[in-house]
Structures are given as structure tokens and as C-alpha cells.
Structure 1
């Protein structure tokens, strides 16, 4: 496979957010465990994010083509829909098995896969609904929760709340750039209904609340204390 095609598959996976989420999982796993399983956890998380990103580009292909989004590899002709669909169907069972039998364990793996399922559900259904923030809230809480469960810890409520709020904030900020095109395409998620100003305010409020929550958390003074959280 040529480097150009590898880059196309990476772009179709929304590589920036995928790397960000994978990195967060690695750092958290390092704090709660050690680098051996942390690398494996990051890899299995990465597989799940590929499935979410690829399914999104497959579903959005028609709309991306309509709006001539040439930054999308499917629209640019770097790969075809059939090729990406085939890769997704091959990867999906691998991602499921790897997460369940890997360091996350059955419980942690299933919790993370719940988040992956939320991402896919957003792509196919929730992006059209006023409940569009819900998959982000669940998925971004499921990620840290899965790693806590993998280390036989109960995830603290503040960690779940922080993950959910940051996920929802990202949802509102991420949609802003395409609001006009989304409305033309009949995409009626909550950000599209509230508009740019409303979405921006909600995102900023959620980020501010997350900062306040973190500053009042047990790890605000000493990040290493996260290892002691039960």
C-alpha cells in the first residue's frame, strides 16, 4: 500500500481527534498502570477510533460530495467508498476482540466499546437529533471509565463528569465550522438548532465548569495522586 493511500485512510479516520483520544488513553493508562499495558490500551483504543472515523466518512460521503469537501479522501478520490467500507468491516471484529481480550479486560473493554457504539450511533442517527450531545457525553465518560475498570478501580464521578463535559464541548465547537452546510443538508443536531452563538456559549461554559471541577479534584495539586483514586 502506497504512502498516499495510507494517508488517505488516516484522514478518513479524522486523524487529529483519533490521535488526541488515543493519546489521552495512553497518558491515563500510564498514570493508573504502567507503560506496558498502556501501549496496548492505546492501540486498542486507536482501533475503535478508526471504526468511528471511517464509518462517519462512509455515511457522509454523499453530503461531502455535494459540498465539494476535497479535504475528504473519498471526495478527492484517494480511496473509494467500497475500499473504506471493506476496511471498516474487516477492522470492526478485530477492534471488538482486541478490546475485550486486551489489557482493558472484559469489563473495561465492553465499557470502551459502548463509547465506540455511541460514536457510530452519532454518525448514523444522533447527528440529526436534538439529542446529538448524548453520544459524546457517554463516549467521553466511557473512555476514562474503561481504564479505571481495567485496573480494578471504580471511576470517580468527577472524572466521568469532566469527560462528559469536555466531550460535549468538543461536539459544539466541532460543528460550528459546518453549521450552514449542515442545515442545508437537513442535519439538525442541537448545535445546528442553537446556532453559532449559542453553541459557542455552551462550549465555553462546559470548558469552564470542567476547569473548576478539575481544580477542586483530588489531583489538582498532585497529578500522581490519580494512582490512589479508588
Structure 2
């Protein structure tokens, strides 16, 4: 789930770059187009929209859920429908995030974001966000009533993060709900609409909390300067870094040991690798903050592999 992101999300792990900081007068306000008028090309606007959706997390989450749908046993047609639903939901969340944060990003001079750079207008990004959200609703319910309700609950949580909860002590909740909803959505899309196994929902929620901490960690100081005081910001850079591996490694343990049957050598090796990488990231992160972030991404990748390895038992 992109960053149900501040990036978050986030979503999914997005970052700014150099040059001269823009001014409000140059790029306009969040209610105005920032494309510079008719001179901007259609291709440029499409490129800007693609960049504003947080493409990394969108592609990663959609691909993971598509793979999980195949592993879990969904048919080809249902798998495509599942992937399309997740894609629409993630696009809506990513665009909502960039559109809503436009004023703050402009004030902070966060170059590298299409809205800040003037590649695409804020109004256009809002239109894209609402269009993707509108498309997500019928696609989700086409997978089943309960499946659709669960998926849309996750998408709604991500929008709540973007619009309100990002700057509160409850900022972790949308991430937990959104990430838990994704594998549950896949499970409920199986024949007979079986309820998802406890371990996959729990691991998803923990991955969401870890994703929130990892997503926020590189930007905590800058976000505090612009008034964002979410849960990771209240912990501070050191607190967030030390806590970051806990939910991720706990998710690894649940994914390896939670399903019925022995975890096998592969599961135990993955769990051991996740623990070692997490410890290394925590230690190295004392001097290099990016090491903690890189370790978190590596552990999340291990968790994704475990999820697919155990995917046949998600329901």
C-alpha cells in the first residue's frame, strides 16, 4: 500500500533533490495548475502524473498482491481483477498524497516532486486521485462483497492518513489497516470467499507499522520543520531507528512459524537472515541513518518472499 504514505507513505520511500527552491508565486497554489499553461505538453503531463503517484510503491505492492493471488490459487481472470483493484487503489492513494502535500512540499522546497517542479498541476493530480478511487470501487466489489469491503476499508484508511492522520500520534493505524487488508482481500477473492488466516492479517499489519517507521525515518527532521508530528516524529530519529526492526522481524517470525506445518529450512533461513540484517541495520544506523533504512527494506523483501512461500495457506 503506498504510503497509506506520507512517504509514507508511502509507501514506497520517496526523496527530494537540489537546485533552486521554488516559490509559491512561481508554481502557484494547490488550487491552481502548476504546469505553466499551454506550453506544457500532453506527454509531460502524463509523465508528471506518473511521477506523482509514487510509482515505486504502487508497482511493488501491485506486483506482490498479483503474485500472492497466483500463489494462493486465484484463477487467471480473478487474479487480473485483483491486481487491477489494487493498482487503482494504490494510484488513488499516491496521487492524493502528493496533491494534499503540495503546499507543504513547496514551502519545504522539495524538488523532484512533479507538482513542486511544475510538471503537472495540483488540480490535475486531484482529478486523477478521485478518478482512480472511483474506478477502485467497482473493481473491488467485482471480487466479491466481503473482498471489496475489506479492500476499500484499507484504501479508506490510506486516504485518512493522507488527509488527516499523518500528523497525529495515530499515524501508524492506517498503515496497519491498509497492509492487513491487502492479503485479506486476496484471500476473500478465492472460491468460496474464505476468511483469511490470522497469521497473514497479523503479519500484514506489522509490515505496515514497519513500513511507516521506515518511510518516515529519512524525513523526520524535515517533516518536523514543516509541522508534521506523526507517531515516528514523536519517537524522534533515534527512537524510530531502534524500533524499526521490531515489527518487521516479528512479521518474519509470524510468516515463518504461523502457518500450519513445519516452516522448513527455507523459512528458518529467511527468519535468521531477517534477524541478522535487522541487527546490522540498527547498529550501523547509529552512524549512517540510511543503513537502518536499507536494512528495513531488505527485511521487508524477506517478508514478501515468506508471504509468497506460505501463500497457499492464507485462507
TM-score normalized with structure 2 length? 0.68
Cross-structure match for 2:37: none
1:34 corresponds to which of 60, 66, 75: 75
Residues 229 and 59 (structure 1 numbering): CA distance in 2 closer, same or farther, change over 3 Å?
Answer: closer
Q: 1:119 Cα shift?
A: 0.4
Alignment of 1:204-219 (within 5 A): 204-218=245-259
Q: Is 1:111 paired with 2:196?
A: no
Deviations 1:161-212 (A, max 9, x none): 1101111101001111111121111111110010111112222111111111
Residues 129 and 161 (structure 1 numbering): CA distance in 2 closer, same or farther, change over 3 Å?
Answer: same
2:241 corresponds to which of 192, 200, 204: 200
Name which of structure 1's ranges 4-13 and 137-146 shifts more when overlaid on structure 2. 4-13
Q: 1:94 Cα shift?
A: 1.7
Alignment of 1:59-138 (within 5 A): 59-101=100-142, 104-138=143-177
Tell me, what secondary structure is at the counterpart of 1:135? helix
Deviations 1:83-132 (A, max 9, x none): 1122223332222122112xx21210110010000000001111111111
Tell me, what secondary structure is at the counterpart of 1:177? helix
Residues 36 and 17 (structure 1 numbering): CA distance in 2 closer, same or farther, change over 3 Å?
Answer: same
Question: Is the Cα–Cα contact under 8 Å of residues 53 and 91 in structure 2 kept in the other structure?
Answer: yes
Number of matched pairs:
228
Greater helix proportion = 1
Which structure is larger by alpha-carbon Rg, 1 or 2? 2
Q: 1:73 Cα shift?
A: 0.4
Structure 2: runs of 5+ lacking an equivalent: 1-40, 267-307
Q: Is 1:21 paired with 2:61?
A: yes
Distance (Å, rounded) in 2 between the aligned partners of 1:90 and 1:4: 20
Q: Is 1:179 paired with 2:220?
A: yes
Structure 1: runs of 5+ lacking an equivalent: none
Cross-structure match for 1:149: 188
Q: 1:11 Cα shift?
A: 1.5
Residues 226 and 179 (structure 1 numbering): CA distance in 2 closer, same or farther, change over 3 Å?
Answer: closer
Distance (Å, rounded) in 1 between the aligned partners of 2:173 and 2:59: 22
Distance (Å, rounded) in 2 between the aligned partners of 1:89 and 1:228: 35
Distance (Å, rounded) in 2 between the aligned partners of 1:89 and 1:154: 30
Tell me, what secondary structure is at the counterpart of 1:131? coil
TM-score normalized with structure 1 length? 0.92
Question: Is the Cα–Cα contact under 8 Å of residues 111 and 146 in structure 1 kept in the other structure?
Answer: yes
Cross-structure match for 2:10: none
Tell me, what secondary structure is at the counterpart of 1:79? coil
Q: 1:23 Cα shift?
A: 1.1
Q: Is 1:11 paired with 2:51?
A: yes
User: C-alpha root-mean-square deviation of aligned residues, in Å?
Assistant: 1.8
Question: Is the Cα–Cα contact under 8 Å of residues 12 and 73 in structure 1 kept in the other structure?
Answer: yes
